[in-house]
Structure 1
């Protein structure tokens, strides 16, 4: 994933409400959202490395990962997509998982990881050094920098999620998908400087990235209630932002 906003323990029905976009090269093979046949995982699948960028399990746990934008980093180590699939396959709670992962976080390519279980949520990262941070109740955002770094598109998506919460919405996710489809770039004076050049910073500052070789591949909304029941909805896109289908999967915990 490259852009995420989520509300943790901030809604009367949903303990977790998450909206995010996955940006990737269109040539990288991936499978759409589905129930995996070889693991208790509901997710899309990276067919190149085998992991996933965002997924849930039938008990209502969730995991999502982003990369860290730094052109100077050699990008060495294990695939960060395994972080999500290993978390969902494993039996540890979020607290124990955070402790265990922090000890070996340096063995992965640069990552930001969010994990959620029935009681706890954690942010974990490995740049510039491994760290774990418990997530407090409220609305938070994450992109390709540190947790809650106020990049313009992260702030905008967080604000639109907060507006959805304030409106008392429960099951109409249309406004969240509209926010994820926003192609408006950030104002020039608000562009971050991550070492990739001004033109590319401008292009990547929109929530939805439209491109023939690289761009937004999927937009996803996850809603998990306080009993662990929930749904995940994925909208997929091809080169040039062309719509490629939608999948919704509901589950009942237990």
Structure 2
């Protein structure tokens, strides 16, 4: 039961993304990295399409996907949902043109399980202080809605149903319709906004901001991981809409709807956490923390950090050259990799 939280509340970071991937621990997954010279993302190796749930490119294309909660018989579909963000990241089409084309060529996504996708092209607005609007599409809603608008960028012909959401400074997506957010989304949005506001007020550096965002992603209800391990399927499933973080659960196959063919005894829960910062000069910091890549609950978290400059970003001073260098490995690697907490501490909530 994944979650996506993103905000524009920090003046130095016009876009902050925090995401949890909840999945079977034994599902084959390639850690985040540049899969080509432009595209940074993890790769789901559990389906032949080798898709992804989150990614960003040097050209500023960004995509994050969350699944819908659906009956078990509808989970395994002809086409993997992970192929959709991957197709967008690799496309050269403008965001809305791409969505219209993809919807047409994929038959309205009828052969794909339910999903919501945040996607778009990161471009500076107002001298880099804000970004141009992004978009949310879903095969459970007809309309594609733009988000992170200002009164100036908002299309007045847009559906009034979405008007408030289009102007939100902070948005959240999980496994419910995005106009009907689960409690975890409501709480997550509040916590992320508080982090951004505290970061500005207390002048946190980037490392502390990232660390605090990971703390938000690790808030669990209940916080004791032993309770989760002792839940039966129904009890654990009932808690997921309330808990940003999902500690390990056993025998959760079916309702989790992960498109996985994992064995029924597999462990399931939050296995990957991602924080993406885009600063006002177009510099991207991508931090991935992999909590589980197997059923060994004592394994240490794996941390990957990459930084690069979005090509063509205009921040009010100059347009950034397309000839930029990426940095695989940030200062946070050494600091955060020291977090070798045992399971009980790793899953504690604040």
Please confirm whether the aligned pair reaches a TM-score higher than 0.5, indicating the same fold: yes
Question: 1: CA distance between counterparts of 2:142 and 2:79?
Answer: 15
Query: Which residue number corresponds to residue 145 of structure 1?
Result: 176
Q: CA RMSD in A?
A: 2.3
Match of 1:134 among 125, 142, 146: 146
Partner residue, 1:106: 110
Distance apart, 1:227 and its partner CA: 4.4
For 1:29 and 1:74, the matched residues in 2 are separated by: 21
Partner SS, residue 52 of structure 1: coil
**How many Å separate the matches in 2 of 1:148 and 1:227?**
32
Q: Is the 8 A contact 1:13 1:170 kept in 2?
A: no
Distance 2:234 2:38 in 1: 42
Distance verdict in 2 for CA 1:123–1:234, change over 3 Å: same
Between 57-66 and 166-175, report the one with greater CA deviation: 166-175
Go from structure 1 to structure 2 and tell me whether the alpha carbon gap of 1:249 and 1:141 turns closer, same or farther (over 3 Å shift): same
Asked if 1 retains the 8 angstrom alpha-carbon contact of 2:195 and 2:213, the reply is yes
Describe the shift of the 1:13–1:28 C-alpha distance in structure 2 as closer, same or farther (beyond 3 A). Answer: same
Displacement of 1:174 in angstroms is 1.3
Q: Show the counterpart of 2:31.
A: 32
Q: Which moved more, 1:77-86 or 1:223-232?
A: 223-232
Which ranges in structure 2 are unaligned for 5 or more consecutive residues? 124-131, 148-165, 224-232, 251-266, 312-350
Aligned to 1:208: 245
Alignment TM-score, normalising by the size of structure 1: 0.86
Q: Does 1:120 align with 2:133?
A: yes
How many residue pairs are counted as aligned between the two chains? 242
Larger radius of gyration: 2
Partner SS for 1:114: strand
Counterparts of 1:41-120 in structure 2, within 5 Å, are: 41-49=39-47, 50-71=50-71, 74-75=74-75, 76-103=77-104, 104-117=108-121, 118=123, 119-120=132-133
Q: Secondary structure at 1:100's aligned position in 2?
A: helix
**Distance in 1 between the 2:35 and 2:14 partners?**
24
Q: TM-score, normalised by structure 2?
A: 0.64
Evaluate the alpha carbon distance shift between residue 24 and residue 199 of structure 1 in structure 2; reply closer, same or farther with a 3 A threshold. Answer: closer
SS in structure 2 at match of 1:159 = helix
**Partner Cα distance (1:241, 1:207) in 2:** 21
Contact 2:174–2:181 (8 Å) recurs in 1: no
Which is worse superposed, 22-31 or 238-247?
Answer: 238-247
Deviation at 1:107, TM superposition (A): 3.4
Pick one of 221, 231, 240 that aligns with 2:285.
231
The runs of 4+ residues in structure 1 deviating greater than 6 Å are: none
**What is the CA–CA distance in structure 2 between the aligned matches of 1:153 and 1:242, rounded to whole Å?**
27
Q: How far, CA to CA, are the matches of 2:180 and 2:172 in structure 1?
A: 8
CA distance in 1, matches of 2:190, 2:103: 31
Q: Secondary structure at the match of 2:63?
A: strand
> SS at the partner of 2:194?
helix
SS at match of 1:77: coil
What is the rounded CA distance, in whole Å, between the counterparts of 2:172 and 2:178 in structure 1? 7
Question: Does structure 2 conserve the Cα–Cα contact (< 8 Å) formed by 1:102 and 1:130?
Answer: no
Measured after TM superposition, the shift of residue 78 of structure 1 is 1.1
1:24 touches 1:217 (CA, 8 Å); kept in 2?
yes
Q: Is the 8 A contact 2:10 2:197 kept in 1?
A: no
What runs of 5+ residues in structure 1 fail to find an aligned partner? 187-195
